[in-house]
A and B are shown apart, each in its own frame.
Chain A
Amino acid sequence: MKIIFKYADTYRKSMVIALLLMIVELIVELIQPILMAKIIDDGILSEDMSTIYVYGTILLGLTLIAFTAGIASSFFAAEVSQGVGHDLRRDMFRNVQMFSAMKIQQFATSSLLTRMTNDVTQVQNLLFAFMRIMLRAPLFIIFGIVMSFTLNIPLALILLATIPLLMVAMFWLMIRGMRLFRQVQERIDQVNNVIRENLLAIKLVKAFHRMAFENNRFASVNTTLKDKNKQALWVMEFVMPIVMLIMNLAMIGLLWLGYIQLDTGTAQAGEVVAVINYATRMLASFGVFSFLLMNVSRGRASAKRINDILDQSADDVVNHNQNREKIKGDVRLERVSFHYPKTEYNVLRDISFDVSSGERIGILGETGSGKTTLLNLIPYLFHPSAGTIYIDGRPIKQLGNTVRHDVTLVPQEGFLFSGTIQENIRWGNEHLSFEQVKKVAKDAQLHDFIMTLPNDYHTLIGQRGVNLSGGQKQRLSIARALADDPKILLLDDSTSALDATTEAQVLRAIGNRRCTTFVVSQKISSVLDADQIIVLEKGEIAGIGKHQQLVESNSLYQKIWRSQQKKGVVLDEH
């Protein structure tokens, strides 16, 4: 919750104005019963027409003031809540962009998305409500009692007596209700999770004929949701009748005491009516508490989730205009080990090798042997837990993330952005001329395909556009990487969906660029003519050398080589 107020501080002026305007409204409402008492006592009972006119007009005038204040406060309150929402979104997004690839793994994309949209909206609503009605209810109750004291002390005491009772009821409601609503939310998440899984795995569910099983699974989470929901709602809906009863009984006390006072002449009718009026209005304002409960508990949860992100240090800050020279592309690893945070198992152990600029390195190894992790270390996406990486002889830490200007990685499943093909190729380098775009597309063996599309380079891809096959995506990703003119290019099995001919052509074109290239592959054929081939086994280097050396001396390599001797590769990509 603190975070909300920290952000609201930027808009302190507007917030103060909004609150002041709210108090103006409040005062008007507090004065009304007094004026009413005046009208009854000094006007009706004293049969004085002019008093009724005067106070009646004042009453109307005040109403007009309250209305104006209310309308005006809407502008200021909206300014604050929308401003805070805007700022929260801005800072969250900025922070997330400055997270390292490692850190962002702590958050699922969907959860980040919810935090930046729903949670912010929740906080906005809370803030808006806070400035306009939430604070109003408690203030009204306090001031109402104070005003009653000025009117008639014994009657006011009755009102005051109800407060502790109501506080207890409310407090209990807050504590219990908040916990229950949190639990309800958890149950909703469980239900949604089962639904999501089933939608994604529908073929599996059908193929294994697990409908009954899944229905049961769903029924059980559905039942717990129903039960929890009932429990939470019951608590909520039970407190209000109790609160009403307390207030109503206080009202009877007021009537009874007022009756006695009138009888003994210690009070006037108008006073009693006014106090009763305060009591009625106080009762009405209690309704806000159940609303408050829901919103505060939701808002608090949202604020916490937002804070989780803002609290994370941005561990990969990128500065705008970094002075830098292009690197050459020498890479040296010295006894590098790596393990994921919060785990002890080293995914990579004691990796050392030395690569000169312009060389091609092949990396082979079993699933889970650490190939992808190794690649992620070089563009400074992951940081080694031990050992040092040197680029051009300088420790990578010195270069930091600026190294990415010259190092580019192509992931196995090429991630593309929605937009045209040209926009995707230009993603890393907006100023690329169309001729250059065409050049890299040709290098990636994609140009001919692009020309068959209805709008060639301007064809939209993705959800609203053309669907590309796996191989086409990979080639587009490669073109995009080449457009960035890298000095070190990392291909993470990113030609796996290409047929052998195309793959060879792509690799040849890359070879002409004289950049240091790391090629992770399942196929020896892809790395056959590499300057060095690194064979990884369970996070360690099992062999390193040229193809001929390895074929002669490395048993793991021999095994792979033999198994692939007579193997064709992908037959179905064109």
Chain B
Amino acid sequence: MNTKRAVVQSPQGSSKHHPPIGKKPKVKNFRATITRIWSYMETDKAMFWIVLAMIFLSSLLSLLGPYFIGVAVDVMTGADFLFSFTNILIILIVVFIMHSVTLALQNYWMIDVSQKTVYAMRKDLFEHVLRLPVIQFQKSQSGDLMSRLTNDIENVSRTLNTAVIQLSTSILTLIGTLAVMLWLSPLLTLMTVAIVPLMYFGMKWITNRTSYYFKEQQKELGEMTGFLEETLSGHSMVKLFHQEHRVIEQYRTRNEQLRKVGYWAQVYSGFIPKLMNSLNNFSFAIIVGLGGWIVLSTSATSITIGIIVTFTTYARQFTRPLNDLANQFNTILSAVAGAERAFEVIDQDEEELDKGKKDIHKVKGDIVFRNVSFSYQEEEAVLTNVSFHAKPGQTVALVGPTGAGKTTIISLLARFFEEVSGEILLDDQSMKTLTNKSIRNHLGMVLQDSYLFETSIRENIRYGNLDATDNEVEEAAKLANAHSFIEQLPNKYDTLLEGNGQGISQGQRQLIAIARAMLANPTILILDEATSSIDTITEIKITDALEKLMNGKTSFVIAHRLNTIEKADIILVLDDGQIIESGNHSSLMKEKGFYANLVSTQKVHQ
């Protein structure tokens, strides 16, 4: 099946990635990555060997075809051969049929193997990502992670199918062709091979240029994408400030620049197939011309017309794999680089494994922080020596400026992070000894930006408790005061939400998120600024519903609203990662400290 790539190679093959020979895609550890891909294939090892056997067979058969055609031509022109002409034709028929059959089989099985492999890689990667500690998501941008999970794997998927087959076919054909050519005529072989240095230097000349321009093109494209992203998501800002013509002008410059480098990249990469093709034709001319001369001038030669015919085919079969190898080399390198980037994700440490920890089943909700400190890897401490005690059913309000450590405290509770020093006790047991899984089973959360999935509202609420019936879902929605607005939607509970709940308002998104937490019915509740962007009327309803929900549950609230804070059993005033004041509203007011000051300045403006 090597007819395929030969003509195919050029614009795609080389423009997609770095061009052959010159600069290589960055692969840090080629061998290790290959071994790793191999380990994913392992379940189908037997199948893989069969594929290799098929490739061997089909390569052999692809050599036999031209050989027997040459023989047939010789017999036609009167030469003697072992078999009669009819027999040669029969042999050819068998060879051709076998060739097609082995090709079909090798493809069929290889596709199976490679797709299963990619499936396993995707699965592994995805499951691993879910197990990564939350901190990883804050460090590495999610865009980068996304691209590793999608583009890079897709790249592997696209390459793996063909790479194995083409690589082995190319190598086998190359060796086989050379061997047969040498056997038929060392002299003609020498002439055929004469073009290889030409090819090498030609390619080198081209790729020295393309690699530069492709890199430039990539850079320009990247910058343009950034620019587009900004102006498109800021579309209404552009409109409001009537800056359409300015951004169009800015874009024009970038577009022009991209065209320039794109032009040269494409021009030079367009040279490659032409060079290959011409060298092919060149060797064709040499073989026919010089071959003919040899046949005539040296009578005792073993070269026949049939051999010349065979050689013209072989010459193509010989340069093609060389060309293919050069192309494949890059496709493969870039796929390996992709796989490597994906594996890097897998190699990141998983969230503290639950191994060796015990499950906690019944939870009262007693939480103690004892001298808890936290810092992101060797950075400045975000939390220092935080201690407090929340008894079952109590509400703890976290108050303080941005960056004071409120979010860190709830992240520690939710086990997104693990404390660096000190201890967090849940019902008198250190959280470190308990499985994250079982802790989270008792935890409900309404996060700052409530994420909604692209599915129906009903399924979004049910996310809180997968076993909930439709009735229970609606009950929860009623409690969260989401029911009335949901009923007004065209498809009610079956209304499909677009990406991250677009199409409904931010307040409505939060109502759904609250309903979701309601349904989960946890022992410990975490509210992160949950009520900050809901209008007053709805908020009254929510406050009321939350009160019901919080009843009997230990709740942690990052609060902005004074009335929420006032009702809390414990108010923790944080600044710079430390608790500067704690107590309830009245005791803190008496203290006349930071909190009292904060409250009084607020009231002045009411």
Contacts and interface: CB of A to CB of B under 8 A. Distances in A.
B500 A366 contact: no
A343 B495 CA distance: 14
Given A128-B11, A273-B309, A417-B234, A366 B538 contact: yes
Interface centre among B290, B445, B490, B536 (most CB of A within 10 A): B536
A459 interface: no
B137 interface: yes
Contact of A104 (B150, B235, B285, B437): B235
A367 B534 contact: yes
Contacts of B505: 367-368
Contact of A113 (B1, B225, B282, B399): B225
A82 B239 contact: no
Interface centre among B96, B241, B463 (most CB of A within 10 A): B241
A201 B451 contact: yes
Given A230-B111, A567-B561, A572-B404, A77 B270 contact: yes
Interface in B495-519: 499-500, 504-508
Interface stretch (A83-91, A161-169, A444-452): A83-91
Interface centre among A128, A241, A404 (most CB of B within 10 A): A241
B126 interface: yes
Contacts of B235: 96-97, 99, 101, 104
Nearest to B246: A430
Contacts of A32: 281, 284-285
B443 A207 contact: yes
Interface centre among A86, A207, A258 (most CB of B within 10 A): A207
Contacts of B137: 199, 202
Interface stretch (B68-76, B325-333, B424-432): B68-76
B248 A97 contact: yes
A218 B508 contact: no
Given A60-B282, A79-B263, A367-B538, A501 B73 contact: no
A229 B126 contact: no
A226 B119 contact: yes
23 contacts: A29-B281, A32-B284, A70-B273, A73-B274, A78-B262, A108-B499, A109-B232, A117-B221, A202-B137, A203-B414, A207-B447, A209-B437, A210-B463, A259-B76, A286-B3, A287-B3, A287-B4, A469-B402, A501-B601, A563-B536, A567-B563, A570-B532, A572-B402
Interface in B558-606: 559-563, 565, 598-599, 601-606
Given A222-B122, A234-B108, A571-B399, A522 B535 contact: yes
Contacts of B601: 499-501
B6 interface: yes
A206 B440 contact: yes
B228 A572 contact: no
Nearest to B278: A67
Contacts of B3: 240, 244, 283-284, 286-287
Contact of A44 (B274, B305, B499, B605): B305
B451 A237 contact: no
Interface in A429-467: 429-430
A86 B278 contact: no
Given A229-B115, A234-B107, A63 B285 contact: yes
Contacts of B526: 207
B271 A71 contact: yes
A442 to B, nearest CB: 20
A368 B507 contact: yes
B130 A248 contact: no
A550 interface: no
Interface in A186-231: 188, 191-193, 195-211, 213-215, 218-219, 222-223, 225-226, 229-230
Interface string A112-132: 110011000000110011001
Interface stretch (A48-56, A152-160, A352-360): A48-56
Contacts of B119: 222-223, 225-226
A531 interface: no
B35 interface: no
Given A204-B463, A206-B436, 10 more contacts: A32-B285, A36-B312, A109-B232, A188-B150, A209-B437, A210-B463, A244-B1, A415-B233, A560-B536, A571-B559
B386 interface: no
B7 A291 contact: yes
A271 B293 CA distance: 19
Contacts of A276: 69, 73, 309
Interface centre among A40, A218, A245, A367 (most CB of B within 10 A): A367
B184 to A, nearest CB: 16
Interface string A241-282: 110110011011001101100100000010011001100100
Given A318-B244, A404-B242, A573 B401 contact: yes
A368 B489 CA distance: 12
Contacts of B228: 93, 112-113, 116-117
A78 B263 contact: yes
A195 B107 contact: no
B46 interface: no
Interface centre among A276, A277, A556 (most CB of B within 10 A): A276
Contacts of B364: none
Contacts of A405: 242
B56 to A, nearest CB: 16
B453 interface: yes
A84 B519 CA distance: 55
Interface centre among A86, A97, A238, A291 (most CB of B within 10 A): A97
B377 interface: no
Interface in A502-550: 503-504, 522-523, 525
B560 A207 contact: no
A337 interface: no
Nearest to B102: A241
Contacts of A369: 535
B229 A109 contact: yes
A415 B234 contact: yes
Contact of A208 (B142, B284, B440): B440
B338 to A, nearest CB: 15
Interface string B246-273: 1110011001101100111011101101
Contacts of B107: 233-234, 237-238, 241
Contacts of A193: 454
Contacts of A523: 536
Given A226-B115, A234-B107, A566-B563, A59 B7 contact: no
Contacts of A93: 228, 248, 251, 255
B196 interface: no
B87 to A, nearest CB: 12
A213 B146 CA distance: 20
A209 B440 contact: yes
A100 B240 CA distance: 11
A237 B109 CA distance: 11
Interface string B85-126: 100010011001101110110011001100110110011001
B270 A255 contact: no
B236 interface: yes
Contacts of B240: 379, 381, 404, 407-409, 428
A565 interface: yes
Contacts of A215: 123, 126-127, 130
B266 A500 contact: no
A543 B11 CA distance: 66
B134 A202 contact: yes
A78 B270 contact: yes
B278 A66 contact: yes
A196 B538 CA distance: 31
B12 A125 contact: yes
Contacts of B11: 125, 128-129, 132
Contact of A222 (B123, B230, B248, B602): B123
A521 to B, nearest CB: 10
B161 interface: yes
Contacts of B69: 251, 255, 276
